[in-house]
A and B are shown apart, each in its own frame.
Chain A
């Protein structure tokens, strides 16, 4: 059974069909890449999966459970978290506070109004683990707004990771990161625990082919090719798309 599955997923924005009958199937523990040209509907699929958008048709199954109607925060509790293509961070908080917030929330103390943040050892231990894993130790007390872009991008992933998802959705994590900060970012992505299933959207084909064990190609909102990296790489239609040629799909 796939850990994450969509059945006939569809999203219309007025006249635009941003997702058309998408049947995506992600295996447990997979390193699954979702690729496709700009405007293909990749972010829309992530938004549908996480509940930011409601599909106009179709179902979403997480670990065999229908989550189509679940609220975004419920999906996080059910084990799926995401990052955003454009940073969505808490600019006025420090990385420490932001991660502390996520960890408190996950450990069920998020609605706790009487205790001070950080008074629970279980929370602080986990904060430390996340801060170190994402190499944020030396900036953890800075306001998020003034962090270098690469660090913000790491924090973007750290917040999703701190939810301890079983399925992690990464929407172009390396987008816009300058070359010199890129290595650090990619290293943390590669070092994500094997038991976490990762669905990665990325434009950098080197990264996609070194990372993914399965690739789905989305074009004009529809799944176009779906298979092992070698097969996708050889597929003439994919080559055509990436060379910007005309399609008759």
Chain B
């Protein structure tokens, strides 16, 4: 029998180290702080760009919702528009009929409605391959779009929801013509949602999502209820998508059937392809690049901007990705080599053996 350190008393320094290290993972990096300072500075820096900035903030929040399921739980979806749309209509209807007048309360309620739809439909995407998930999520949003079209007496059908009157936010700030308040409102909501999302991904729950994305078999084998974790994040993601949809309705005082469109969900994948997934900022950065690229190309060639967006997409996916992945692999390689070298310094013997067995 060999005795181990297990019977020895715990090393208090190590326990503190572990706690400190785990907490440090979630600390805001300077780069993040700069990002948000710049985001809020945009309110004063670009007063003539409020409209596109506002759309960007909404798209960013929408993309963040997809990143939560795609980047953290590995669920691909072409149906985020279902949640965006249902909350868009819900917030429009409650404002139109004066059911919930205060926009912030209406926003939260819209998010809850979308989350409820997310919860119910989550069971459809639990099982199945990526392709199944794409089709099921797409199908759900198409069906909802058709339902909204069918009940035109409520939704306004193809003409869109008219006569929506949005009360001032918190009874004080009304949505002005220049879009200043609208943008500030969207930006604050985006920030609050981002902080919540960030909190989630650094929590034990968030860690369990990353683990089941990496290896669902093992996640279940260490006691994680994989199914319920997926249901939970899908629900949260739907709620975020809903809040984005409600923001659009509230800031435009209008809602039309295109909130359910396939294009809207597809744009989202584009945004995440541009910005990357699994680090929360992908949706935000992707949305900024996508919106400004769209804006810039549209001023160059108003008619054919989609051609250029398409081209950019193809280039990113075919050329960029491999190159980017190449860079990442190279960076990882050098970090690993550095690690090995340090390892060799510290433990010459085990390093030699470790290298040999690495290929297994």
A interface, CB within 8 angstroms of B: 50-52, 71-73, 76-77, 81-82, 84, 88-93, 96-98, 100-102, 104-106, 109-119, 121, 124-125, 127-129, 131-133, 135, 137-138, 140-142, 146-151, 159-160, 162-163, 176-178, 180-181, 187-188, 190-191, 193
Give CA–CA (A164, B115) in the complex, Å.
35
Which residues of B are found within 8 Å of A76, using beta-carbon distances? 220-223
Which residues of B are found within 8 Å of A187, using beta-carbon distances? 2, 4
- Is B5 touching A133 in the complex (CB atoms < 8 A)? yes
Which residues of B are found within 8 Å of A106, using beta-carbon distances? 223
Q: B226: which of A73, A118, A132 is its contact (CB, 8 Å)?
A: A73
Counting CB contacts under 8 A, is B45 at the interface? no
Q: Nearest Cβ distance between residue A18 and chain B, in whole angstroms?
A: 18
Give CA–CA (A112, B224) in the complex, Å.
13
Counting CB contacts under 8 A, is B325 at the interface? no
Which residues of B are found within 8 Å of A115, using beta-carbon distances? 203-204
| Interface residue range, chain B | 35 or more
- Is A180 touching B349 in the complex (CB atoms < 8 A)? yes
Give CA–CA (A188, B207) in the complex, Å.
27
Give CA–CA (A59, B234) in the complex, Å.
35
Q: Nearest Cβ distance between residue B18 and chain A, in whole angstroms?
A: 5
- Is B200 touching A119 in the complex (CB atoms < 8 A)? no
Give CA–CA (A146, B220) in the complex, Å.
23
Which residues of A are found within 8 Å of B21, using beta-carbon distances? 96, 118, 141
- Is B211 touching A93 in the complex (CB atoms < 8 A)? yes
- Is A178 touching B18 in the complex (CB atoms < 8 A)? no
B193-236 interface (Cβ within 8 A of A): 199-200, 202-208, 210-211, 214-215, 217-218, 220-226, 228-229, 232
- Is B353 touching A101 in the complex (CB atoms < 8 A)? no
Q: Which residue of B lies closest to A118 (CB)?
A: B22
Given A141-B21, A178-B353, A187-B2, the answer on whether A52 and B208 have CB atoms closer than 8 Å is no
Which residues of A are found within 8 Å of B205, using beta-carbon distances? 110-113
Given A76-B223, A114-B203, A132-B6, the answer on whether A124 and B218 have CB atoms closer than 8 Å is no
- Is B22 touching A128 in the complex (CB atoms < 8 A)? no
Give CA–CA (A150, B204) in the complex, Å.
27
Q: Nearest Cβ distance between residue A110 and chain B, in whole angstroms?
A: 5
Q: Which residue of A lies closest to B27 (CB)?
A: A116
Which residues of B are found within 8 Å of A118, using beta-carbon distances? 18-19, 21-23, 25
- Is A128 touching B223 in the complex (CB atoms < 8 A)? no
Q: Which residue of A lies closest to B346 (CB)?
A: A138
Q: B203: which of A51, A112, A124, A193 is its contact (CB, 8 Å)?
A: A112
Give CA–CA (A13, B287) in the complex, Å.
49
B1-44 interface (Cβ within 8 A of A): 1-6, 8, 10-11, 14-16, 18-19, 21-23, 25-26
Which residues of A are found within 8 Å of B199, using beta-carbon distances? 113-114
